[in-house]
Amino acid sequence: MKKGNPYGTHRVLEPKGVLPQPALKIDNTMEIYDNEILIDVQTLNVDSASFTQIKDQAEGKEEKIKEIMKGIVAERGKHQNPVTGSGGMLIGTVKEIGPALKDRDLKVGDKIATLVSLSLTPLRIDEIIGMRKDIDQVDIKGQAILFESGIYAKIPTDLPENLALSVLDVAGAPAQTAKLVKPGDTVLVVGGAGKSGMLCLYEAKKRAGITGKVICMAHRESSLEKVKKLNLADEYIVGEATDAVGVYEKVSELTDGELCDLVINCVSRPNCEMSSILSCKDDGTVYYFSMATSFTKAALGAEGVGKDVNMIIGNGYTKDHAEISLQIMRESEGLRKLYQEIYA
């Protein structure tokens, strides 16, 4: 059996010398190297920014979505949206484990969710057999490869599989929130009524405590209603995240001009960078979880308005992120019921 690189560089076809994620094309033949795991894939949970773009391109037509997704994998050997650059994650059953990984707490037949992006995962789609467009999930027949460095989580037995997949897809967001929020902080979650946003609100409210203030912003009043029922925030704003000045004015009014210590951006559409920057106080932090973010626009935009804020890229991996996010489902009966209704 061939020996592989821990980071999967042996799979890179073009251009040589780069890691699998930035590569334009990788080898998606399903004969494993000694340090790889072969997975029979059940469901792809496509990154929200990516699936939104694909749905827009396909004008919502399911057959066209299938055609676009298959085309991406055929061209790249992985599901990496050429527009957003992002991927998603998957759930599947372990088919084969390379001999170099035999000491892992994993066996053939285990059901796992990969916690690395589809934008670097060798993937083969034989057939798309189902689709849930409203929650970015696609059921397929196919296989995928997990590298030695790839992280994963065994699917918990106390939560429905699709629920666990939906939560694990955005696990980095609430885990980063738990690290960033301090007691007494004022926190704004842009896109707070979405899948990642509500988890961030829950963690922010828990960490900020009674002396803090958590603000939820969504683009429709109807979206805010479900958040209000669960008491996930202290204040609520309806607005367009692309309207930077409009959002800033509403946040300024709610905070008596003080603005926010931390702004978390979870919106899956472009051109939402500046509303987050303007809403953050100097020396505060903006956490861009959304993969629709243009970091060029964020960096140069902050410079253009004279804002001295710390900006954090939404790293999908944070230590213990799977455990933190799944624990929210166990702690909050209301959130669990809502996520089961929407995402399971």
Q: Count of alpha carbons within 13 Å of 270, Cβ hemisphere only?
A: 10
* 154-177: pLDDT as tens digits: 999 899 888 898 899 889 999 999
Spatial contact of 242 and 271, defined as CB atoms under 8 Å apart: yes
- Looking at per-residue pLDDT, the higher value among 43 and 342 belongs to 43
Half-sphere CA count of 105, side-chain side, radius 13 A: 4
Beta bridge partners of 310: 285
Residues 211 and 287 both lie in one domain = yes
Same domain, 235 and 283: yes
Are residue 148 and residue 35 in the same domain, yes or no? yes
59 has a pLDDT exceeding 90: yes
- Asked if residue 181 and residue 151 are part of one domain, the reply reads no
Q: Quick one: pLDDT at residue 162?
A: 83
Domain count within the chain:
2
Distance CA 224, CA 240 (A): 13
Task: For residue 244, give both structure tokens.
Answer: 């930077």
Q: How high is the pLDDT of residue 145?
A: 98
281 and 247 in a single domain? The answer is: yes
> Quick one: 315 and 180 in the same domain?
yes
Q: Do 191 and 146 fall into the same domain?
A: no
Q: 209-253: per-residue pLDDT in tens?
A: 999 999 999 999 999 999 999 999 999 999 999 999 999 999 999
Q: What is the pLDDT of residue 268?
A: 83
Contact, 88 vs 47, CB < 8 A? yes
- My answer on whether 143 and 207 are in the same domain is no
Q: Tell me the pLDDT tens digit for each residue of 183-217.
A: 999 999 999 999 999 999 999 999 999 999 999 99
* pLDDT over 80 at 344, yes or no: no
Quick one: pLDDT at residue 339? Answer: 92
pLDDT at 255 over 80: yes
pLDDT band at residue 64 using 50, 70 and 90 as cut-offs: very high
Range in 131-140, 249-258, 316-325 the model is least confident about: 316-325
Question: Per-residue pLDDT averaged across 39-43, rounded?
Answer: 97
Q: What pLDDT is recorded for position 224? A: 94
- Domain extent, residue 221, equals 172-343
Q: Is residue 165 part of a domain?
A: no
Contacts of 52 (CB under 8 A, 6+ apart): 268, 269, 292
**27/100 same-domain check:** yes
- What is the pLDDT, as a whole number, of residue 269? 86
Query: What pTM did the predictor assign?
Result: 0.83
